């Protein structure tokens, strides 16, 4: 090991010289690409060489991401915001990479549940829907969701799209009329086979009832005449599609559930309801006595946004279809991964490329429920903690495969440790110090010839370690995004910030500057420049997650607004920053991540230690 270190030290002058002149040997045609200019200080292979982006786009087709459209029988909750933010992050990531992207969200406004909820308030269903839809619009606006359309299933163009889709199914001979009987859940808006039922007892009233073993919602026996979709005729095509696209549903475990359901439970689907039982919805074309099943109606919204059925022949993709990813909660997997592909296959339309299913939010290990009183109102939460704080918490803690437990105490802890003590502390260390000027540091260190600078082994190793992290970071984050795992991606960015804080603590540039020694000064400037590069790269990569705070972070560093794309997130790509566009603040209260206004009785000794450390470094 000592021999390796010695060899590394002998190589250092040549490599340091290259580090001192970023961009000097790069051809002009390559400068537009995310080139890593500086060679490494180690011969170890980069993870980045093994991680390549797999995302592709049809030429002229925008990236298209959707949330589920949210049922308006109740007010928005934290799960709705989570779906929205997931979609928003994926869309903004594509924009960051220079790709055109579209995002859809909206409300599902038809069905028995909505009809019943409106009746309880003695309101007409449309009036009730108008009122509740506004709450979801308000949530999207408050959460800084960059959606291209907020669709409502009561929109006129959507009704026309549903009617046209129905005619296509009829033309294919895939709709027939028949008497239907079975166990129906109003809450879930679907029938269940007897094999998926269980007997339950209401803990408050003692009532014994049949319920879905999956959702635990009550079912009732229904006998009626309605229209059916010959879904069983698509069974083999569905199973072939699943076989050829084993990663279609993410996470993979839910793909196994989908395949099992189609193999063992698939039956023809009842796709209408008599108006005596459901009058609030879109009527079956040429049969006003029947209302189209809400899930057939709702799923087609994704096509409505893409311009269906008024597509220009040969250019259908310009509206975004097929969707690149549907984001849904785990409770509606069957509708999107069985019913929806079957309907699309039936009319020969391309299927969405991916279905990203996320888990639920719980509180104290319990599913959120109004009756229990543990539902988190996202508008109240954002008002209390801040928009980007909530976006960060949802993305960092949120579950894809497993449920995530919401906790105000944990939110405050994560904020103080990772945002305030992580990114905020780093930016403060770099920009508020009295011992150096960041612009001078960047200008000097980026053109510095390090061949005559002596580096101790610990400092050399620290530089090598952090450089490797930052060289890999953009491609690692990009791969997580391609795999539809923005939770893992943001954790990589946070880990890089944690490593940078540790790096500054170990190199202690404030102490080196005070020695007045020229070699120490060069080492200090080199260390500070690398830490600044960490924050610049992190700030660029954080933009899809924290649009406001990441912008402010880059403004404080003085990064040119035209140099904030994904291609700019390369180590030593930019040496023009350092002059703040906005003030870094003079007190903790006006810094990037100020203290939270919160009334929790929690002690945070680390926060006080951070304050003392920042004061020591800036004095």
- The average pLDDT across 577-594 equals 90
- CATH number of the domain located at residue range(s) 2-45+415-595 in this protein: 1.10.730.10
Q: Look at residue 242 and tell me whether its pLDDT is greater than 50.
A: yes
Q: Look at residue 238 and tell me whether its pLDDT is greater than 60.
A: yes
pTM comes to: 0.83
Model confidence pLDDT, tens digit, residues 23-77:
322 232 233 333 333 333 332 333 333 332 334 445 689 999 999 999 998 899 9
Q: Look at residue 589 in the predicted model and tell me its pLDDT.
A: 80
Q: Look at residue 74 in the predicted model and tell me its pLDDT.
A: 86
Q: Which residues pair with 64 in a beta bridge?
A: 102
H helices present in 483-546, as ranges: 486-507, 509-514, 518-542
Q: Look at residue 89 and tell me whether its pLDDT is greater than 90.
A: yes
Question: For the ranges 91-95, 180-184, 541-545, 611-615, which has the lowest average pLDDT?
Answer: 611-615
Residue 168's alpha-carbon distances to 79, 220, 309, 347, 441, in angstroms, are: 35, 32, 11, 6, 66
Which has the higher per-residue pLDDT, 613 or 156? 156
Q: Look at residue 476 and tell me whether its pLDDT is greater than 50.
A: yes
Q: Look at residue 58 in the predicted model and tell me its pLDDT.
A: 55
Starting at the edge strand found earlier in the chain, the sheet holding 361-363 runs 366-367, 361-363, 404-405
Q: Look at residue 598 in the predicted model and tell me its pLDDT.
A: 61
- Is residue 572 a contact partner of residue 532, using CB atoms and an 8 Å limit? no
- The average pLDDT across 198-208 equals 76
- The average pLDDT across 311-331 equals 94
Candidates 133, 116, 123, 226; CA nearest to 181 is 226
Q: Look at residue 301 and tell me whether its pLDDT is greater than 90.
A: yes
Task: Give φ, ψ of 586 to 5 degrees.
Answer: -115, -15
Q: Look at residue 80 in the predicted model and tell me its pLDDT.
A: 96
pLDDT bin (cut points 50, 70, 90) of residue 540 is very high
Mean of the per-residue pLDDT values of the chain = 86
Q: Is the dihedral of CA 377, 379, 384, 386 positive or negative?
A: positive
Which has the higher per-residue pLDDT, 160 or 21? 160
Which has the higher per-residue pLDDT, 25 or 399? 399
- The average pLDDT across 568-590 equals 92
Which has the higher per-residue pLDDT, 102 or 619? 102
Rg of the chain taking only CA atoms, in angstroms:
28
Residue 353's alpha-carbon distances to 99, 322, 326, in angstroms, are: 17, 7, 8
Q: Look at residue 587 in the predicted model and tell me its pLDDT.
A: 81
- How far apart are the C-alpha atoms of 593 and 416, rounded to whole Å? 9
pLDDT bin (cut points 50, 70, 90) of residue 14 is very low
pLDDT bin (cut points 50, 70, 90) of residue 9 is very low
Q: Look at residue 40 in the predicted model and tell me its pLDDT.
A: 33
Q: Look at residue 608 and tell me whether its pLDDT is greater than 50.
A: no
Q: Look at residue 612 in the predicted model and tell me its pLDDT.
A: 52
Containing 404, the helix (H) or strand (E) segment is strand 404-405
């Amino acid at each position: 090991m000592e021999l390796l270190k010695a060899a590394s030290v002998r190589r250092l002058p040549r490599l340091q010289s290259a580090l001192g002149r970023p961009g000097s040997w790069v051809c002009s045609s390559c400068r537009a690409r995310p080139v890593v200019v500086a060679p490494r200080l180690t011969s170890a292979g980069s993870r980045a060489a093994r991680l390549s982006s797999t995302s592709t786009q049809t030429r002229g087709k925008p990236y298209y991401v959707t949330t589920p459209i949210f049922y308006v029988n109740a007010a928005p909750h934290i799960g709705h915001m989570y779906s929205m933010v997931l979609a928003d992050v994926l869309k903004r990531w594509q924009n960051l990479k220079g790709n055109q992207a579209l995002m859809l969200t909206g409300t599902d406004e038809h069905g028995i549940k909505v009809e019943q909820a409106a009746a309880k308030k003695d309101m007409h269903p449309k009036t009730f829907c108008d009122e509740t839809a506004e709450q979801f619009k308000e949530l999207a606006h408050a959460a800084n969701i960059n959606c291209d359309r907020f669709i409502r299933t009561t929109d006129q163009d959507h009704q026309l799209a549903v009617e046209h889709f129905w005619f296509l199914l009829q033309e294919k001979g895939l709709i027939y009329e028949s008497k239907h009987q079975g166990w129906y859940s109003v809450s879930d808006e679907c029938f269940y086979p007897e094999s998926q039922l269980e007997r339950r007892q209401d803990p408050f009233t003692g009532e014994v009832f049949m319920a879905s073993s999956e959702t635990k919602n009550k079912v009732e026996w229904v006998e009626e005449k309605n229209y059916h979709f010959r879904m069983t005729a698509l069974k083999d095509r569905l199973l072939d599609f699943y076989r050829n696209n084993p990663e279609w549903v993410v996470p993979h475990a839910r793909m196994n559930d989908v395949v099992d359901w189609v193999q063992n439970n698939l039956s023809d689907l009842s796709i209408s309801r008599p108006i005596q039982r459901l009058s609030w919805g879109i009527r079956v074309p040429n049969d006003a006595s029947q209302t189209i099943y809400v899930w057939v109606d709702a799923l087609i919204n994704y096509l409505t946004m893409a311009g269906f059925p008024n597509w220009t022949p040969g250019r259908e993709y310009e509206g975004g279809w097929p969707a690149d990813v549907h984001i849904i909660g785990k409770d509606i997997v069957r509708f999107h991964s069985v019913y929806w592909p079957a309907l699309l296959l039936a009319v020969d339309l391309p299927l969405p490329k991916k279905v990203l299913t996320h888990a639920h939010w719980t509180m104290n290990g319990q599913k959120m429920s109004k009756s229990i009183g543990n539902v988190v109102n996202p508008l109240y939460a954002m008002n209390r903690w801040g928009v980007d704080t909530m976006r960060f918490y949802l993305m960092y803690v949120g579950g894809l495969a497993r449920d995530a437990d919401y906790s105000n105490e944990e939110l405050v802890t994560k904020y103080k440790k990772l945002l305030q003590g992580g990114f905020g502390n780093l930016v403060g260390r770099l920009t508020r110090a009295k011992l150096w000027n960041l612009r001078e540091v960047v200008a000097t260190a980026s053109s510095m010839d390090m061949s005559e600078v002596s580096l101790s082994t610990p400092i050399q190793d620290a530089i090598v370690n952090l450089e490797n992290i930052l060289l890999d970071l953009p491609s690692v984050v990009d791969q997580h995004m391609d795999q539809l795992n923005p939770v893992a991606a943001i954790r990589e960015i946070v880990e890089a910030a944690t490593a940078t804080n540790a790096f500054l603590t170990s190199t202690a540039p404030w102490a080196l500057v005070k020695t007045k020694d020229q070699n120490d000064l060069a080492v200090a400037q080199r260390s500070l420049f690398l830490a600044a590069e960490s924050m610049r790269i992190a700030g660029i990569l954080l933009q899809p997650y924290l649009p406001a705070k990441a912008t402010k972070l880059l403004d404080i560093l003085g990064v040119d607004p035209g140099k904030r794309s994904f291609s700019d997130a390369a180590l030593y790509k930019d040496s023009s920053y350092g002059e703040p566009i906005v003030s870094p603040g003079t007190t903790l209260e006006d810094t990037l991540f100020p203290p939270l206004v919160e009334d929790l009785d929690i002690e945070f000794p680390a926060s006080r230690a951070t304050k003392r450390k920042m004061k020591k470094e800036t004095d």
